Structure 1
Amino acid sequence: MERKRNNQKVSWTRGKCLGKGSFGTATLATNESNVAVFAVKSVDLATCLPSQLESLENEIRILRSLSSPYVVEYLGDDVTRNESPTTSYRNLHMEYMAGGTVADEAIVKSRLADVEEKILRWHTRCLVSALKYVHSEGIVHCDVKGKNVLVGHDLTSVKLADFGSAMVEIKKESSGDRCRSVIWPRGSPLWMAPEVIRGEYQGQESDVWSLGCTIIEMVTGKPAWKDQGFNSLNRIANSEELPEFPAQLSELGKDFVEKCLRRDQNQRW
């Protein structure tokens, strides 16, 4: 297979599957010229739903425009037609983060063993830095959660990934104020902010709510809210409840999370 990068064709070979999600399959890939390893997210053009292809194209457009040490790096994209006689794939090429995600059990255990919260604070700092950069570019991620925060070979390299649900905020020409469109909620329900579930709007403050949920997830290894179907969504959207804060979280950590999870989005950080 070949892809173009810097006006040069790059031949690559697809390797083992890293995971499957609602918007594609992630695999390892190897550059045939220098044996460099990278990750590929693909959808089968013959069998995928229109929403799956739209999500991947959205992620390609957004990642192509970003450059940050806290965001997974875009390496290229292509269409391959020679992997089998009946299939063709739309592919996104990204850097490979070998350590998994911040929600993986082994990494959660490493953070729990760190009584001074150094690892948790560093991972949170990386995620905050990623969101600060993405928001400065006028982009709302819309799906911040542990599985979308990748870890490198060690615990120090942490990057935000999976921009398939992301959207660009629209500026009002008259005032320059942000205008949030009323749209169908994007992202994963248990990490969604109340205003998103209610279908009112989705903005940068909504990502901050998801950040708070993700910090709880990084401590416990579980979603901040128990999955009780519609009852959970109703509690998030319409009650005054907050998820339970982990007992092992420091007072400083609890204060940070509380400021992320304020129900009035204008009061979040």
Structure 2
Amino acid sequence: MGNGACKNIQGQPEIPQKGGSVANLLGRYGPLRETVILGYLEQLLRGLAFIHENLIIHRDIKGANLLVDSTGQRLRVADFGAAARLASKGTGAGEFQGQLLGTVAFMAPEVLRGQQYGRSCDIWSVGCVIIEMACAKAPWNAEKHSNHLALIFKIASASQPPSIPSHLSPGLRDVALRTLEIEPQERPSTRDLLKHPVFQPW
């Protein structure tokens, strides 16, 4: 699945500074180092764990909605304009149906198919953000699709996840693959992902 289409650029600073969104940093510095990706990813998962446990799904997780402070070290989830309140604490996939809210390249296939969905749609978007941070571009080669309907069809009919950068370490690649399971019930929860060895101190 990793086709080497995006390469890791080694010239960027260890920790980007000046703040702004992750998307801004990617535009300024290019792909992020894996240590930075892991730091941001852990904070993103902790933030999502908090909102999911408080019965909220974000529905528009992407680099533009992840804000970084002026030190480049602390990340916060922003822009809850597409967020929705869940009906129960259950972790099932069927909380919503037919509501197309979010940014197409980061949306889960079940959302684009008009099927029922829940917290796992945010998990899918986390995988897309890993690709975005590693490549400095959205998954699915979205920039090459001038027609949104063509991109929607491509994702909705996908039987495989988007290409995962080949330069990622096995651990981070495994996290990405887990988040990008086509079947929503196969995706782990935020808390389960945070138990992955890549986030454990040595």
Counterpart of 1:134 in structure 2 is 51
- Counterpart in the other structure of 1:258: 177
Amino acid at match of 1:247: S
Q: Given the superposition, is the C-alpha separation of residues 177 and 210 from structure 1 closer, same or farther in structure 2, using an over 3 Å criterion?
A: closer
- Following TM superposition, the consecutive aligned residue runs of length 4 or more in structure 1 with deviations greater than 4 angstroms are 176-179
Q: Which has the higher contact order (CA 8 A, sep 6+)?
A: 2
Residue of structure 2 equivalent to 1:101: 21
CA distance in 1, matches of 2:164, 2:97: 31
SS of equivalent residue, structure 2 residue 100: coil
Normalising by structure 2, report the TM-score: 0.76
Mapped to 1, the partners of 2:118 and 2:45 lie a distance apart of 15
Structure 1 gap segments, 5+ residues each: 1-97
What is the CA–CA distance in structure 2 between the aligned matches of 1:218 and 1:122, rounded to whole Å? 12
For 1:233, the equivalent position in structure 2 comes to 152
State the number of aligned residues. Answer: 165
Residue 107 of structure 1 deviates from its aligned partner by: 4.6
Asked if residue 169 in structure 1 is aligned to residue 86 in structure 2, the reply is: yes
* Number of the residue aligned with 1:149: 66
Distance in 2, matches of 1:181 and 1:141, equals: 13
> Matched residue of 1:209: which SS?
helix
The answer for the alignment partner of 1:40 in structure 2 is none
Larger fraction in strand: 1
1:209 to 117, 124, 141: 124
Deviation at 1:177, TM superposition (A): 7.0
| Preserved contact between residue 104 and residue 151 of structure 2 (Cα < 8 Å) | no
Counterpart Cα distance in 2 of 1:239 and 1:214: 18
Where does 1:12-27 land on structure 2 (aligned, <5 Å)? none
Larger gyration radius, structure 1 or structure 2: 1
Using the alignment, how far apart are the partners of 1:221 and 1:138 within structure 2?
A: 31
RMSD: 2.0
More helix by share: 2
Q: Which residue is equivalent to 1:246? A: 165
Identity of aligned residues (%): 32
Q: Classify the secondary structure of the residue corresponding to 1:225.
A: helix
Instruction: State yes or no: 1:218 paired with 2:138.
Output: no
Q: TM-score, normalised by structure 1?
A: 0.57
Measured against aligned partners, the alpha-carbon deviations of 1:150-170 in whole angstroms (never above 9, x if no partner) come to: 010012111000000000011
**Secondary structure of 1:103's aligned partner:** helix
Distance 1:197 1:154, change over 3 A: same
Task: Read off the aligned partner of 2:19 and give its amino acid letter.
Answer: G
> Are 2:57 and 2:84, in contact at CA under 8 Å, matched by a contact in 1?
yes
Question: Is the Cα contact below 8 Å between 2:91 and 2:119 reproduced in 1?
Answer: no
**Residue ranges of structure 2 left out of the alignment (5+ in a row):** 1-17, 189-202
